[in-house]
């Protein structure tokens, strides 16, 4: 049954993988079976030269399509989130990467799960993004969104950096550590988790600050309301990274200002999706010697 909500569907695929091409073709077959118009960006067209579709600039996909399907890993969804969240278009992920916390559909279930979604059997979760501004001499010189995290660090240099943190113009602390991770709930299962931060349910309306290897045992992760305005002032040249995909260089005294972005990414999940199921399967929760952890 064709869904009345979806008539034009955008396809975005990660380049450089034959597995991604196989899954893109599987998705396209389902869309064609439902008589839906397919739209792709230039890079996806380059790996699907035979597909009957329309090609538009990626920045226009959000306003052209009723649904975007991303085939790749969570990294692909991070990029799409930054580019298209402001349009409000719902986004569905097919996982051809690693853990795949954001991408809901596995390659072997494309035909069944995608058909269910197109028939209206889905839910939408809003995942808010972070907005990061780099401020030098009271002037914003660079900006970026981040779906997972904004990280202040020294790049490839393995030495301690110094910085100061304010929340809503209230001084929090001076810090000596390898850096600071400012994470959304979505990003709590990414880099923040590796640095010892807590796992946050994606529906939580809060921002997480996680020091990276601090030089004090009492410096712990801090959770603040999502309406908070966070400011980090660096004491030496450093870098700021958004989703580990966009990087800016910081000079001594520069400020990184982070707040909740205006528009969330609307992620589509098939019915029955559970964040806790994802944690159990991808983080190996509940494993016990001897097998089944259910009884």
Integer CA distances (angstroms), 67 to 37, 144, 198, 253, in order: 11, 24, 32, 43
Asked if 107 and 97 count as a contact pair (C-beta separation under 8 A), the reply is: no
Q: How many CA atoms lie within 13 A of 185 on its CB side?
A: 17
Asked if 98 and 73 count as a contact pair (C-beta separation under 8 A), the reply is: yes
Asked if 70 and 76 count as a contact pair (C-beta separation under 8 A), the reply is: yes
* Active-site residue identified among 5, 22, 41, 74: 74
Query: Is 74 one of the annotated active-site residues of the chain?
Result: yes
Q: What is the 3-state secondary structure (H, E, C) of the chain?
A: CCCCCCCEEEEEECCCCHHHHHHHHHHHHHHHHCCCEEEECHHHHHHCCCCCCEECCHHHHHHHCCEEEEEECHHHHHHHHHHHHHHCCCEEEEECCCCCCCCCECHHHHHHHHHHHHCCCEEEEEECCEEEEEEECCEEEEEEEECCEEEEECCCCCCCEEEEEEECCEEEEEEEECEEEEECCHHHHCHHHHCCCCCCCCCCCEEEEEEECCCCCCCCCEEEECCCCEEEEECCCEEEEECCCEEEEECCCCEEEEEECCCCEEEEEECCCCHHHHHHHHHCCCCECCECCCC
Active-site residues: which are they? Answer: 74
């Amino acid at each position: 049954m064709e869904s009345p909500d979806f008539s034009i569907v955008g396809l975005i695929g990660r380049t450089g993988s034959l597995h991604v091409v196989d899954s893109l073709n599987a998705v396209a077959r389902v869309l064609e079976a439902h008589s839906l118009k397919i739209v792709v960006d230039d890079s996806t067209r380059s790996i699907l030269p035979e597909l009957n579709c329309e090609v538009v600039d990626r920045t226009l996909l959000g306003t052209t399509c009723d649904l975007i399907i991303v085939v790749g890993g969570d990294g692909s969804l991070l990029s799409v989130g930054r580019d298209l969240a402001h349009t409000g278009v719902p986004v569905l992920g097919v996982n051809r990467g690693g853990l795949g916390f954001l991408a809901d559909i596995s390659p072997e279930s494309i035909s069944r799960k995608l058909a269910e979604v197109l028939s209206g059997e889905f839910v939408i979760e809003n995942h808010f993004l972070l907005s990061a501004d780099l401020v030098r001499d009271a002037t914003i010189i660079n900006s970026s969104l981040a779906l997972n995290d904004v990280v202040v660090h020294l790049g490839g240099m393995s030495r301690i950096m110094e910085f100061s943190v304010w929340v809503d113009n209230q001084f929090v602390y001076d810090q000596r550590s390898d850096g600071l991770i400012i994470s959304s709930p979505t990003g709590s299962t990414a880099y923040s988790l590796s640095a010892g931060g807590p796992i946050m349910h994606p529906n939580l309306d809060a921002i997480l600050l996680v020091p990276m290897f601090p030089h004090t045992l009492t410096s712990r992760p801090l959770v603040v309301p999502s309406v908070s305005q966070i400011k980090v002032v660096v004491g030496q040249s450093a870098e700021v990274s958004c989703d580990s995909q966009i990087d800016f260089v910081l000079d001594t005294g520069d400020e990184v200002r982070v707040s909740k972005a205006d528009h969330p990414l609307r992620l589509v999940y098939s019915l029955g999706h559970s964040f806790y199921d994802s944690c159990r399967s991808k983080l190996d929760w509940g494993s016990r010697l001897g097998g089944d952890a259910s009884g």
